[in-house]
Amino acid sequence: MPKRYNRKRRDPKAVQKEVDGLIQQIDQGIAALTSSEDWATWLKWQGAFTDYSAGNTMLIAMQCPHATRVAGVKAWNALGRKVIKGSKSIRILAPKTYKATEQDSSGNDVETYRCAGFRSIGVFDFSQTEGEELPARPYQIGIEGEEDNGLFDDLKAFSAGNECPVEIEDIEGAALGYYQPFLHRIAINAGMPRARMAHTLAHEVAHSLMHRSDGTADGRNPLHLTRGIKELEAESVAYIVCNAAGINPGDCSFGYIADWNGKKTRDELKESTARIKSTARDIIKALKPAK
């Protein structure tokens, strides 16, 4: 029979203490996002680690500020790379799930997974590994150029798939675009550079997903949000999406962040960061890879 190795069982109290410590780090990190510069830095991290939750992205940034790509040992091995001996893992949170049986709307039994808390797991940054080279990330282009890596067309198709048509028109005044909640329609100002149009559309698509007037209870469309917070959320999503597509949004305006943090509780701030993260991730996953 093959030899079996027994992994030493950790003290449950020590495990829970580590998890509580990581959750506390997340709270402290999010509460510290009180300036436009800090907020923009956080958004760049969201674009770099779209597969991780907002909390885990914060943990990665706090423990390894120079990180560019993280994964577990098995994932790195599958990519032909090995973790360098002696490297210290980056601790993040993973859900502890269990299988349960529930009934669907037709009364049929279906198996599902439920979360029973969290556990701490270790991941490693690319810099902590060695082996085969990985494909280079798409180069970044400026927001005032005519090249947009196909982002505008992809976003337009994505929005149409959500039954929110996008139209290009001459808009009077300073507005680059707008979203009409009751009509569920987006308009983009004509005559702008293509990359700027893509950034504007990403902003309005975020509004269409997060701030539709019917108040769909999807966890990211609360009706009590002020206009300032809605604009912050939409611009933040656009910032992440554009970075992921290889477009540098430049110095976007997040000037009202400090005022917002002064009025909102830490829990409300966490809710907003979670909405931003999940919305940006949904958009990025639905779009084609940057060309």
> What does the pLDDT read at residue 122?
92
Q: How confident is the model at residue 246 (pLDDT cuts 50, 70, 90)?
A: confident
For 3, half-sphere exposure in the C-beta direction (CA atoms, 13 angstrom radius) is 2
Cβ distance 154 to 133 under 8 Å? no
Give the pTM: 0.71
Listed residue (175, 210, 205, 209) closest to 192, CA to CA: 175
Phi, psi dihedral angles at 220 (to 5 degrees)? -140, 30
Residue 291 in this model has a pLDDT that exceeds 60:
no
Q: Return the number of other C-beta atoms located less than 10 Å from residue 276's C-beta.
A: 25
**245/153 Cα distance (integer angstroms):** 12
Q: Which two tokens mark 283?
A: 């958009």
pLDDT at residue number 199 = 94
pLDDT band at 4 (very low <50, low <70, confident <90, very high): very low
Tell me what pLDDT residue 217 has: 46
146-196 residue pLDDT tens: 889 899 999 999 999 999 999 999 998 888 999 998 889 999 999 999 999
Distant-in-sequence, close-in-space partners of 86: CB < 8 Å, separation ≥ 6: none
Judged against a pLDDT cut of 60, whether residue 264 lies above it is answered with no
Residue with tokens 């048509």: 165
Average pLDDT, the chain: 80
pLDDT in tens, 51-107: 788 788 888 988 998 888 899 999 999 989 999 999 999 999 888 777 777 777 777
Task: Name the token pair of 173.
Answer: 């005044």
Amino acid at 262: G
Tokens of 261: 């943090």
Q: What pLDDT does residue 116 have? A: 72
